[in-house]
């Protein structure tokens, strides 16, 4: 079988090569994004692999049908950028990688919070200027805080374990509570309860139209003064302008954002010699109580390996058996 993979990075190369050797199948690897100008390259292949947070237009799946390609395997978990109906209508089976490494994302989100709590960016900047004084940047310890986890799927649960290890009090909200966690009494009954009780809100949920701008001015006002927001989930969950206002007023003490609502033209691009045109994003970067990272919470050796191998096995399985355990329904 012959597959074509888009957005392939150097660090993924060895896993593609390993899989080709082990299975005897071929994979053409391209650095290009999959979009309406590159989609014609899929002609003649049995399946397509891609990884990106940008949107795939519905017409892309008409092209899949035209070229007789029946499987689209994404090397990541989120499918909020794919119209599954459009794929289905064109006979395309979509697979994802539901659990490449929940720990990778959970560990990163905790790391970012710890940096905010101990003012590490501020101290790094001060030390660079040879200012070695301490005050007034006294830190906070996790065991003195209540962490509110939104979303208790695999990533949220991994985060809960880590926070408990640090001695934090953890509360959680999920529309679909996990039975094991429910027995432990970790859940509150509403967002309002979570927002009013937590010192830290950490987001570990997919983006759905219902949760668009969950972190809004209205909800920020329900939070404790001096609280923290951690978003390693999806940019669309946070109203960035409202967040900036809350950070500037002191309502929020800090935020760590590994996703941004308009990230697709910014993250994973080298813009070092260009002016960033997005004024909201520029303002975010200028704040010293914000940590911005370019959607790298997932980016560990374990995760990258699993993303490549699981996506390839899914594509192969759909071609051979018409389905895979990772088919997105
Ligand atoms: C995901 O797996 O959905 C992520 O957010 C990772 C990203 C590289 C697309």
Whether ligand 1 lies within 6 angstroms of the CB of 153 is answered as no
Q: Which of 76, 208, 236, 302 to mutate to test the pocket of ligand 1 (most atoms within 8 A of CB)?
A: 76
CA angle 324, 328, 329 (to 5 degrees): 110
* Ligand 1 atom at minimum distance from 51 CA: 9
Task: Measure the CA–CA gap between 323 and 299, rounded to whole angstroms.
Answer: 28
**Backbone phi and psi for residue 297, each to the nearest 5 degrees, phi listed first:** -55, -35
Q: Which of 298, 302, 307, 308 to mutate to test the pocket of ligand 1 (most atoms within 8 A of CB)?
A: 298
Whether ligand 1 lies within 6 angstroms of the CB of 53 is answered as yes
Q: Which of 33, 295, 306, 308 to mutate to test the pocket of ligand 1 (most atoms within 8 A of CB)?
A: 295
Q: 138 CA to middle of ligand 1, Å?
A: 34
**Is the pLDDT reported for residue 53 higher than 90?**
no
- The one catalytic residue in 29, 154, 204, 295 is 295
What average pLDDT does the chain have? Answer: 97
Percent of the chain with pLDDT over 90: 98
Identify whether 320 is a catalytic site residue.
no
Task: Measure CA 295 to chain center.
Answer: 6
- State mean pLDDT over 247-273: 96
How large is the angle between the packed helices 13-23 and 301-321, nearest 10 degrees? 40
Percent of the chain with pLDDT over 70: 100
- The one catalytic residue in 29, 204, 234, 261 is 234
- H/E run at residue 197: helix 191-197
* CA within 13 Å, CB half, 83: 12
Whether ligand 1 lies within 6 angstroms of the CB of 76 is answered as yes
Q: Which residues contact 98 (CB under 8 A, 6 or more apart)?
A: 77, 154, 326
Q: 97 CA to middle of ligand 1, Å?
A: 9
Identify whether 295 is a catalytic site residue.
yes
Residue-wise pLDDT tens digits, 294-321: 999 999 999 999 999 999 999 999 999 9
Q: 298 CA to middle of ligand 1, Å?
A: 7
Whether ligand 1 lies within 6 angstroms of the CB of 304 is answered as no
Going by pLDDT thresholds of 50, 70 and 90, the confidence category of residue 253 is very high
Identify whether 63 is a catalytic site residue.
no
Residue 202 near residue 257 (C-beta atoms within 8 A):
no
Instruction: Give the pLDDT score at 61.
Output: 97
Task: Measure the CA–CA gap between 97 and 95, rounded to whole angstroms.
Answer: 7
Task: Measure the CA–CA gap between 194 and 171, rounded to whole angstroms.
Answer: 7
* Ligand 1 atom at minimum distance from 75 CA: 2
- State mean pLDDT over 88-113: 98
- The one catalytic residue in 263, 269, 279, 283 is 263
- State mean pLDDT over 100-124: 97
Q: 241 CA to middle of ligand 1, Å?
A: 23
31 exposure class (CB count in 10 Å sphere: 0-12, 13-18, 19+): exposed
Residue-wise pLDDT tens digits, 171-192: 999 999 999 999 999 999 999 9
Instruction: Give the pLDDT score at 55.
Output: 83
Q: pTM (2 decimals)? A: 0.95
CA angle 201, 260, 119 (to 5 degrees): 55
């Amino acid at each position: 079988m012959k597959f074509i993979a888009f957005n392939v990075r150097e660090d993924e190369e060895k896993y593609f090569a390993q899989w080709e050797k082990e299975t005897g199948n071929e994979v053409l690897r391209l650095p290009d994004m999959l979009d309406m100008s590159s989609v014609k390259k899929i002609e003649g292949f049995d399946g397509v692999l891609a990884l990106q947070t940008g949107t795939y237009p519905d017409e892309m799946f008409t092209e899949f049908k035209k070229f007789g390609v029946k499987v689209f395997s994404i090397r990541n978990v989120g499918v909020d950028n794919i119209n599954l109906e459009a794929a289905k209508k064109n006979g395309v089976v979509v697979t994802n990688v539901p659990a490449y490494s929940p720990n990778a994302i959970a560990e990163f989100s905790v790391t970012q919070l710890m940096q905010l709590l101990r003012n590490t960016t501020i101290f790094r900047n001060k030390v660079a200027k040879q200012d070695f004084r301490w005050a007034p940047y006294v830190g906070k310890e996790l065991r003195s805080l209540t962490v509110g986890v939104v979303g208790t799927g695999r990533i949220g649960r991994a985060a809960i374990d880590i926070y408990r290890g640090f001695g934090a009090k953890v509360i959680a909200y999920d529309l679909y509570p996990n039975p094991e966690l429910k027995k432990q009494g970790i859940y509150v009954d509403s967002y309002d309860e979570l927002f009013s009780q937590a010192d830290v809100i950490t987001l570990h949920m997919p983006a759905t139209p219902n949760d668009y701008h969950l972190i809004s001015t209205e909800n920020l006002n329900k939070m404790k003064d001096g609280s923290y927001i951690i978003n390693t989930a999806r940019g669309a969950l946070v109203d960035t302008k409202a967040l900036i206002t809350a950070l500037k007023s002191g309502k929020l003490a800090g935020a760590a954002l590994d996703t941004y609502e308009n990230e697709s033209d910014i993250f994973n691009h080298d813009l070092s010699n260009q002016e960033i045109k997005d004024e909201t994003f520029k303002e975010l970067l200028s704040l010293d109580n914000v940590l911005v990272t370019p959607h790298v919470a997932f980016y560990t050796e374990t995760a990258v390996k699993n993303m490549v191998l699981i996506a390839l096995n899914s594509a192969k399985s759909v071609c051979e058996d018409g389905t895979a355990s990772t088919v997105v329904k």
